[in-house]
Amino acid sequence: MTEAAAAPTPTDAPATPAVVDRPIPPRGWLVIASKELGDHLESARFAILLIVLGLAAGIPLYLAAEQLRTLASQVSGAQAVFLAMFSLGPRDQSIFQFDVTVQGFVGLAAPLLGIAFAFDAVNGERSQGTLPRLVSQPIYRDDVINGKFTAALAVITLVLVSVVLLISGFGMLRLGIVPTFAETLRIILWLVVTIVYVGLWLSFGMLLSVVVHRAATAALLGLGAWMLLAVFGNFLVQLFLAVFLPVNASGTAEQQIAGLQVQDFVMRLLPVTIYTEATTVLLNPTVTSVATLSTINQYVQKQQQLPTFLSLDQSLLLVWPHIVVMVAITAVLFAAAYIRFMRQEVRA
């Protein structure tokens, strides 16, 4: 046999498998968001939190139903009657230690939505061993955290819109109160502010899910922060101020006003205070100021001021700093979670 005959032909060489180059979708975060959204809607967590927030809004509305019915029959056609469903509580609130209104209950319970839908967003994938497979898909790595945040915010928006529609339906069907166009706009803006406020807690929960590797630990930290800031925040701040920055009752009026201004500044460091002030202005057109009065003359003028209804644009001028602050805090928390996630090492 000749050397040429012994040489292998090209057809005898092993075939090299073709490498399929899968293109990266331009909007991979939408793929993640749609998958997460479906998982959230089918989970028991969604149903439980919807019931909890519904009860948080329905209980104060039920307690104030008699007062609302009387108010509606006495001042038919008056302004801001429909808004009273969200800002009016029962007649006797002495047995309660917090704001017993729809606004107050939603402000207290809504942060749980943000924490519940985010505390295990990343560390849950890591503990199940699915995070390496997820980031190995043909998508950009930041699409993972962006998609999870978008899906959670969409579910939270759905829950809040459902609760507002239930309250509005109760007012129109059972109490016979029909909202005006201006009242509808104020409720929509209150809903937007509430979504921004919950988004703040969602960003905080997302940061916990990235930094803390165990979902149970992240949940405990999130609930602890919620209780510390939202539930007991006002009490703890007032206790701190009473011990370290007390208002001298025997001092001059200027000194007392200066002490109240310091206390007001410290109280506004709490997100719940910023949210409460913004929603109070939107749901109550008679509120004309949220700033602490700095002089005695301003107090005198406040007492002599006739009750007036602010237009929607005037109310927005009062609350836009609060909205900007909440958006800024949300952006900072999400940016911290984003940077930490992008720098983390994911191993199979």
Res 174: pLDDT: 73
Tell me if 315 is assigned to some domain.
Answer: no
261: left (phi over 0), alpha (psi -120 to 50) or beta: alpha
Tell me if 183 is assigned to some domain.
Answer: yes
Tell me if 258 is assigned to some domain.
Answer: no
Tell me if 224 is assigned to some domain.
Answer: yes
List, as one string, the DSSP characters of 241-289: HHHHS---TTS-HHHHHHHHHHHHHHHTTSHHHHHHHHHHHHH-TT---
Tell me if 158 is assigned to some domain.
Answer: yes
Contact at 8 Å (CB) between 166 and 57? yes
Res 332: pLDDT: 96
Res 57: pLDDT: 77
Tell me if 238 is assigned to some domain.
Answer: no
Res 248: pLDDT: 64
pTM (two decimals): 0.82
Q: What is the chain's Cα-based Rg?
A: 27
Domains held by the chain: number? 1
State the residue for tokens 């993640």: 32
Res 289: pLDDT: 76
What SS3 state is found at 114?
A: helix
What averages of pLDDT result for each successive group of 10 residues across the chain (348 residues)? Answer: 48 48 66 90 88 80 67 54 74 57 83 90 86 81 91 93 87 78 91 94 94 91 90 81 69 66 76 89 83 53 62 89 93 95 79
List, as one string, the DSSP characters of 34-77: HHHHHHHHHSHHHHHHHHHHHHHHHHHHHHTHHHHHHHHHHSTT
Tell me if 284 is assigned to some domain.
Answer: no
Res 240: pLDDT: 79
Structural domain boundaries, residue 105: 26-89+97-230+322-343
Res 148: pLDDT: 93
Tell me if 66 is assigned to some domain.
Answer: yes
Sign of CA dihedral 73, 164, 318, 275: positive
